[in-house]
Amino acid sequence: MTRSLEPAERVQAVGPSGIRRFFEIAEERDDVISLGVGEPDFSAPWAARDAAIQSLERGKTSYTANRGMYDLREAISSYVADRFGLEYGPDEEVLVTAGASEAVDLAFRAFVDPGDTVAIAQPAYISYGPGVTFAGGEVLPVRTREEDDFRLTVEALEAAGAEAADLLVMCYPNNPTGAVMTRADLEPIAEFAREHDLAVLSDEIYAELTYDERDADASPGAATHASIATLPGMRERTIVCNGFSKAHAMTGLRLGYALGPAGATGAMNRVHQYGMLSAPTTAQYAALEALDSCANDVEAMVDQYGRRRRFVISRFREIGTPCFEAKGAFYVFPEVPDGWDGSANDFAERLLREYGVAVVPGDVFGVGGEGHLRVSYATGLEDLREALARIESFVDEHV
């Protein structure tokens, strides 16, 4: 590498993802059943795909407004109000992005100054840390615990020293644990944020994917999902990120959005308009249709995930690996079985090499993930059955 193209320090500071190596091992076998994927095994609802096709047929191939098509922003605005009690106007408070990923990245670039501290509730989605580093910030891990059902608590924030942070990143329903937080759980966190003047980045991409009976405390219309932005005094200090990848099975279309007060989404839009210009137009048409007419498709997928979730949790318990009762997203986060004398990483690697089942070791998701495995049930039941049978054989053989 010539010196002129030597990566910047911030880029060098971020190593390759811990998932990459597993991917390479998985490629060596052809009978791998993967429970390592973080994306739906469904295709996007047909109506949404059809709307994308039609938009192309009509020649809708230009940029849209930087913030996204007005109709889509309006649709997002009324959808989040109906589903989650989030009130954001389409003119200045909704920003359409290329995936929730871009929304998260924009938030870091818009609100993190070099040297700022960003508290991240962990175990967490693996992109937050590197995103903070690229923006020049410092990551402060906040460890959530299985004893607390992996919910964020004020004790955890205090133990980490998060009162000194500038921004708090949280994600419920959570990737990788499947934890959810009710409105009651969020109240003390909101109080902590107000008291210490913390801004909050709330990644709610799994908001539709919760599996409990409706919670009377949750936001109006929602299942168990409650957004911290709906708590008193939180709207002005919170950016909510969401998108179409998970609930609408549209990962490849790359469409998400950010919600926040006008000034804040305005700042994010400033970064967005130079870096991205506008989110993919075809995907915006698909998203508009997804909100307009695909609620039943979402419901059908959630039903399927719900059944698979129960199946997987009860199988892990039968196998003798303690498994916390995940209530959202499409992951469970079992511990490696008692009696396995190695790391979760060893467990996952040998399970993959010997039995062809790919799961992700919890360590890659940060503190609190050690000794756990992330197991995705975004895979058909036949494969889940076979994978769990193989895990059972592996455990019988080695533990």
Partner 1 sequence: MSEREVLELLRENARYETADIARMTDLDEDEVADAIEALEAAGIVRGYQAVVDWDRLEDERVRAEVELNVTLDRETGYDDIAERLARFPQVKALRLISGDYDFDMEVEGDSIREVSRFISEKVAPVPEITQTVTHYVMASYKENGIELGDGEDDDRLSVSP
Ligand X SMILES: Cc1ncc(COP(=O)(O)O)c(C=O)c1O
- Tell whether residue 36 is a contact of partner 1 (CB under 8 A): yes
Report the run of H or E that residue 275 belongs to, with start and end.
helix 262-275
CB of 358 to partner 1, least distance (A): 5
CA distances from 106 to 159, 160, 165 (A): 28, 25, 18
- Tell whether residue 243 is a contact of ligand X (CB under 6 A): yes
d(CA 108, CA 139): 11
Q: Looking at this protein, which amino acid is placed at residue 139? A: V
Q: What track of x and - describes contact with partner 1 for positions 314 through 343 (by CB under 8 A)?
A: xx----------------------------
Q: Which is nearer to ligand X, 260 or 356 (CB)?
A: 260
Q: Are 222 and 189 a contacting pair, CB within 8 Å?
A: no
Instruction: Give, as one character, the DSSP assignment of residue 96.
Output: E
CA 53 to chain centre: 28
Q: Tell which one of 203, 215, 335, 363 touches ligand X (CB under 6 A).
A: 203
Q: Which does 203 bind (CB under 5 to 8 A by kind): partner 1, ligand X, none?
A: ligand X
Interface region with ligand X, contact rule CB under 6 A, candidates 132-140, 243-251, 275-283, 374-382: 243-251
- Interaction residues for ligand X, span 150-189 (CB under 6 A): 171, 175
Question: Please, which residues bridge with residue 240 across strands?
Answer: 202, 259
Residue nearest to ligand X (CB): 99
Q: Are 298 and 247 a contacting pair, CB within 8 Å?
A: yes
d(CA 242, CA 258): 6
Token pair listed for 70: 């007005």
Q: What track of x and - describes contact with ligand X for positions 102 through 141 (by CB under 6 A)?
A: -----------------------x----------------
> Interface residues with partner 1 (CB under 8 A)?
17, 19, 22-23, 26-27, 32, 34, 36-39, 41, 125-127, 175, 307-308, 310-311, 314-315, 358, 360, 381, 385
